[in-house]
Amino acid sequence: MKPSDYRIYIRQEANSKWLNVAKVPLGIYCMSGTDSTKRFNRFIHRIGEAPAIYDPLLAEYSRQSIEATLRSQGYLHAQVSTDTVNRPHRTKLCYNMQTGKRYYVKHLDYEYENDTIRQVVEAQGPYSLYHGMPLDITKLDEERTRIISILRNNGYYNVNPEFITFDADTAYHDLGVNLTFKFKAPGNTNPSLAFQRYHNGKVTIHEQSYLDEPVDTAFFKDLTFIAPKKSHLFKKVYRREVFLDADSLYRDKQTQFTYQGLNSLPIVNYATVRYTPPQEGDSLLNADIFVNLNKPNGASFDLEGTNTAGDLGGAVSFTFTNRNMFHGAEAFSLKLRGAYEAIKGLEGYQNQNYLEYSAEGTLRLPTLPVLMKAERRRNLRGNSELSVLYNSQDRPEFHRRLLTGTWGLVWNHRNTPNFKNRLDLISLNYVFMPWISETFTKEYLEGDDPRYAVLRYTYENLFIMKLGYGFTYNSLTGGAATSLNQTNGYQIKMNVETAGNMLYGISKLAKLPKDDNGSYSLFNIPYSQYAKFDFDFSKSLMLNDRQSVAFHTNFGIAIPYGNSSIIPYEKRYFAGGANSLRGWSVRQLGPGSYQGRDGHIDFINQTGNLKLDLSVEFRTPLFWKFEGAAYIDAGNIWNTKDYPDQPGGQFKWDTFYKQIAVSYGLGLRLNFNFFILRLDGGMKAINPVVLSGPLHYPIFHPDFGRDFGLHFAVGLPF
Nearest C-alpha neighbor of 669 from the set 635, 701, 626:
626
The Cα 581–Cα 708 span in angstroms is: 11
CA angle 206, 207, 210 (to 5 degrees): 140
Looking at the predicted structure, is the pLDDT value of residue 312 above 80?
A: no
Report the C-alpha dihedral over residues 258, 260, 263, 266, rounded to 10 degrees. -120
Are 134 and 168 spatial neighbours (Cβ–Cβ below 8 Å)? no
What percentage of the chain carries pLDDT values higher than 70?
93
Classified as helix, coil or strand, 446 is coil
Are 203 and 289 spatial neighbours (Cβ–Cβ below 8 Å)? yes
Say which residue, 414 or 616, is predicted with more confidence.
Answer: 616
Query: What's the pLDDT tens digit per position in 316-357?
Result: 999 999 999 999 999 999 999 999 988 776 666 766 788 999
Cα–Cα distances (Å) from 382 to 323, 368, 408, 418, in that order, read: 16, 6, 11, 13
The Cα 695–Cα 498 span in angstroms is: 41
For residue 61, the model assigns a pLDDT of 93
- Provide the CATH topology of domain 199-293: Ubiquitin-like (UB roll) (3.10.20)
The Cα 205–Cα 216 span in angstroms is: 11
The Cα 601–Cα 598 span in angstroms is: 6
Phi-psi region of 417 (alpha: psi -120 to 50; beta: other; left: phi over 0): alpha
Nearest C-alpha neighbor of 643 from the set 610, 601, 685:
610
Classified as helix, coil or strand, 376 is helix
Domain spanning 3-98, CATH architecture: Roll (3.10)
For residue 361, the model assigns a pLDDT of 97
Mean pLDDT score, 217-242: 90
Mean pLDDT score, 135-147: 92
Are 433 and 440 spatial neighbours (Cβ–Cβ below 8 Å)? no
The Cα 268–Cα 258 span in angstroms is: 13
Phi-psi region of 597 (alpha: psi -120 to 50; beta: other; left: phi over 0): alpha
**DSSP letter, residue 161:** G
Mean pLDDT score, 681-694: 89
For residue 283, the model assigns a pLDDT of 87
For residue 661, the model assigns a pLDDT of 95
- Say if strands 311-322 and 297-308 run parallel, antiparallel, or are unpaired: antiparallel
Tell me which amino acid residue 318 is. Answer: F
The total number of residues written for the chain in this structure: 718
Location of each CATH 3.10.20.310 domain in the chain: 104-194, 199-293
User: What mean pLDDT value characterizes the chain?
Assistant: 87
Looking at the predicted structure, is the pLDDT value of residue 369 above 60?
A: yes
Are 196 and 279 spatial neighbours (Cβ–Cβ below 8 Å)? no
Looking at the predicted structure, is the pLDDT value of residue 596 above 90?
A: no
- Range with the lowest mean pLDDT among 119-133, 170-184, 380-394, 452-466? 452-466
Looking at the predicted structure, is the pLDDT value of residue 707 above 80?
A: yes
Q: How many CB atoms lie within 10 A of CB 575?
A: 25
Domain spanning 104-194, CATH architecture: Roll (3.10)
The Cα 510–Cα 477 span in angstroms is: 52
CA angle 315, 321, 326 (to 5 degrees): 150
For residue 587, the model assigns a pLDDT of 83
Give the highest mean pLDDT range of 122-131, 182-191, 391-400: 391-400
Q: How confident is the model at residue 372 (pLDDT cuts 50, 70, 90)?
A: low
Are 458 and 444 spatial neighbours (Cβ–Cβ below 8 Å)? no
Q: How confident is the model at residue 458 (pLDDT cuts 50, 70, 90)?
A: confident
Q: Which helix (H) or strand (E) holds 335?
A: strand 331-342
Give the highest mean pLDDT range of 209-218, 241-250, 599-608: 241-250
Looking at the predicted structure, is the pLDDT value of residue 449 above 70?
A: no
Q: How confident is the model at residue 646 (pLDDT cuts 50, 70, 90)?
A: confident
Say what angle helices 115-122 and 137-152 make with each other, to 10 degrees: 100
Query: What's the pLDDT tens digit per position in 196-206?
Result: 999 999 999 99
For residue 480, the model assigns a pLDDT of 45
Nearest C-alpha neighbor of 49 from the set 68, 63, 32, 66:
32
Query: What's the pLDDT tens digit per position in 93-128?
Result: 999 999 999 999 998 899 999 999 999 998 887 778
**Cβ contacts of 119 within 8 Å, gap of 6 or more:** none
What percentage of the chain carries pLDDT values higher than 90?
51
Mean pLDDT score, 663-676: 89
Looking at the predicted structure, is the pLDDT value of residue 597 above 80?
A: no
The Cα 640–Cα 651 span in angstroms is: 6
For residue 624, the model assigns a pLDDT of 82
Query: What's the pLDDT tens digit per position in 464-497?
Result: 999 999 999 999 865 444 567 878 899 999 999 9
The Cα 295–Cα 272 span in angstroms is: 18
Say which residue, 504 or 352, is predicted with more confidence.
Answer: 504
Looking at the predicted structure, is the pLDDT value of residue 543 above 80?
A: yes
Looking at the predicted structure, is the pLDDT value of residue 598 above 60?
A: no
Largest CA-CA distance found in the chain, in angstroms, rounded: 96
Mean pLDDT score, 77-82: 93
